[in-house]
Amino acid sequence: MQMSRNEIIEKLKDIIVSADPGLEERASSVTEDTRIMQDLGLSSIGMLYIAIAIEEVFAIRFDNVGISDFETVRSIVDYIEKKL
């Protein structure tokens, strides 16, 4: 499944909102430079939910890394692109 970076980011925005509906406004302005923990303020449970949702939506598995190993949206998109 080949996707553009923008398509991946749009799917990530949907995942973020489903993890925490209160982040809908912030999620709409997510860019590759958005810092996951600092800018979005996700809890560790929210991060876990996002990791599971990413694995399901993109049909990938995180190998020897956790979602907390990624600081920015760019690093997540890079990882997803490599796995697709």
**Which domains are assigned to the chain?**
5-83 (1.10.1200.10)
3 state DSSP class of 43? coil
Report, as an integer, the average pLDDT of 18-38.
91
Would you state the pLDDT for residue 36? 87
Q: What is the pLDDT of residues 41-73, one digit of tens each?
A: 888 888 889 999 999 999 999 888 777 788 899
> For residue 83, with 0-12 CB atoms within 10 Å meaning exposed, 13-18 middle and 19 or more buried, which class applies?
middle
Would you state the pLDDT for residue 43? 81
User: Is 60 exceeded by the pLDDT of residue 1?
Assistant: no
Share of residues in the chain with pLDDT > 90 (%): 64
